[in-house]
Amino acid sequence: MAIVEVRHLTKKFEGNATFAVDDLDLATTEDEYLVLLGPSGCGKTTLLRLIAGLEQPTSGEVLIGGEPMVGLPPRARKIAMVFQSYALYPHKTARKNIEFPLKASGMEPGDRAKKVEWAAELLGITRLLDRRPRHLSGGERQRVALARALVREPDVFLLDEPLSNLDAKLRATARDDLKQFQDRVGTTTIYVTHDQVEAMGLGDRIAVMSEGRIRQLGTPHEVYHDPADTFVATFLGSPPMNIVERDDVLVGFRPESLLPKGVVEPDDDAVSVPFSVHRVENLGSERHLVGTVSGIGADTRVIAMLPSTVSVEVPVDETAEFVIRGADLRFFDKDTGGRTARRRL
Ligand code: ADP
Ligand code: MG
């Protein structure tokens, strides 16, 4: 419903030597699901709090729907924020928790009740409305927190690691729920996480952050397959992109791109790589082969990833011929780590 834009946004906390948010530019599109992804301490929460008005910038601008926001208190911005901790009132029922912001804004009881029912319906928590938070599971609490944010009908949702308190299995279902919820309400959402799986699964686009800056903004496909620099290349992917040094350039390739000869159909630029496997990790759905390559980037530790459907024997501590297709090679500048033009190896 509204585009969120920040321009030259900077935040330096008093007493800190570095910038939490460093001259950052970012704009969502209308109704976009934008994910901020980056390691702990890179400035994600600070950026969200600056957009929400919970923090004042050192300099720069925040615009929501084209309107300048800096100086306006949080409640004057049409945003709703859901925190990691959900921050539900423990002594209030789910219903009272969801109703609270409406009550605070002076809405009539009848209208409030309708609004709560509507949000509860949308999030599938109608039967839980009379329970207190301690009688709800983590996933249910998260939905109550979302419902409380939703009743205000914000133009923008700001979600700060809302799934991080859930166990892995619940996280996967909660992620699906969140995605469906967003598809239905269609509100511009900025979602913060340090979890790349969440980012890849939820984001229309992902802004990969480090040290208060955005390293790359792109679709999940773009940031994964066309990383702007070695930081993005190695932050995404599990295992991350292999980076080896060759002459004056860094060569990157994904573990799934290094495959035994014969398994992959080489293209014109394909490189043949003698690969000495030291260790095999069998994860069921895939095998990770940990070893060193000698053709490019002599003796650099790399990982090849074979799907379980590739059943070739890989002898340990022997050198086998592996292949990387030219189209799967990425090149980075040795000094800056930034992407450089492709070349022949
Ligand atoms: P993230 O959410 O990505 O983990 P944060 O935005 O919380 O990162 O923090 C970014 C940087 O700002 C960190 O170095 C953190 O220590 C610092 N920081 C965050 N909040 C404050 C604060 N209130 N006072 C001082 N430093 C802070
Ligand atoms: Mg944070």
The Å distance, Cα 322 to ligand 1 centre, comes to 44
The Å distance, Cα 33 to ligand 2 centre, comes to 18
Question: Is the separation of the CB atoms in 61 and 4 below 8 Å?
Answer: no
- What percentage of the chain exceeds 90 in pLDDT? 70
The Å distance, Cα 45 to ligand 2 centre, comes to 4
Question: Is the separation of the CB atoms in 119 and 129 below 8 Å?
Answer: no
Give me the pLDDT at residue 297, please. 65
Q: Please work out whether the CB of residue 46 comes within 6 Å of at least one atom of ligand 1.
A: yes
Residue extents of the structural domains in the chain: 4-225, 240-333
Give me the pLDDT at residue 200, please. 94
Q: How far apart are CA 51 and CA 242, in angstroms?
A: 36
- Architecture of the domain defined by 240-333: Beta Barrel (2.40)
Q: How far apart are CA 182 and CA 1, in angstroms?
A: 12
Q: Which atom of ligand 1 lies nearest, measured to the CA of 160?
A: 2
Q: Please work out whether the CB of residue 2 comes within 6 Å of at least one atom of ligand 1.
A: no
Give me the pLDDT at residue 173, please. 81
3-state secondary structure of 41: coil
Closest CA to 78 of 160, 1, 140: 1
Per-residue pLDDT of the chain (345 residues; tens, 9 = 90+): 699 999 999 999 999 999 999 999 999 999 899 999 999 999 999 999 999 999 999 999 999 999 999 999 998 998 988 887 778 999 999 999 999 989 988 999 999 999 999 989 888 899 999 999 999 988 888 889 989 988 988 899 999 998 887 778 878 887 887 888 778 888 899 999 999 999 999 999 999 999 999 999 999 999 999 999 999 999 999 999 999 999 889 999 999 999 999 888 888 889 999 999 999 999 999 999 999 998 676 678 999 999 999 988 888 999 999 999 999 999 999 999 999 988 777
Torsion angles phi and psi, residue 263, rounded to 5: -80, -35
Residue 212: partners with Cβ closer than 8 Å, 6 or more residues away: 11, 18, 19, 20, 21, 22, 24, 42, 43, 46
Q: How far apart are CA 61 and CA 24, in angstroms?
A: 10
The residue type at 45: T
Ligand with smallest separation from the Cα of 22: 1
Output the residue whose Cα is nearest ligand 1's atom 23: 13
Matching CATH topology for 4-225 and 240-333? no
Output the residue whose Cα is nearest ligand 1's atom 7: 45
What pLDDT, in 10s, does the model give residues 315-345?
Answer: 899 999 999 999 999 999 999 999 998 877 7
Q: Tell me the CA distances in angstroms from 290 to 26, 69, 184, 307, one per residue in order.
A: 38, 51, 44, 15
Q: How far apart are CA 281 and CA 90, in angstroms?
A: 45
Residue 144: partners with Cβ closer than 8 Å, 6 or more residues away: 86, 88, 94, 97, 98, 123, 125, 128, 133, 136
Give me the pLDDT at residue 105, please. 86
Q: Which atom of ligand 1 lies nearest, measured to the CA of 18?
A: 14
3-state secondary structure of 143: helix
The residue type at 288: H
Beta-bridge mates of residue 26: 6
Q: How far apart are CA 40 and CA 123, in angstroms?
A: 29
Give me the pLDDT at residue 313, please. 87
What pLDDT, in 10s, does the model give residues 270-315?
Answer: 999 999 999 999 999 999 999 999 867 667 899 999 999 998 888 8
Q: Please work out whether the CB of residue 45 comes within 6 Å of at least one atom of ligand 1.
A: yes
Q: How far apart are CA 8 and CA 29, in angstroms?
A: 18
Q: Which CATH class is domain 4-225?
A: alpha beta
Does 162 sit behind a cis peptide bond, omega within 30 degrees of 0 on the bond before it? Answer: no
Q: Please work out whether the CB of residue 41 comes within 6 Å of at least one atom of ligand 1.
A: yes
Q: How far apart are CA 239 and CA 79, in angstroms?
A: 36
What is the pTM for the complete model shown?
0.91
How would DSSP label each residue in 172-191? HHHHHHHHHHHHHH--EEEE
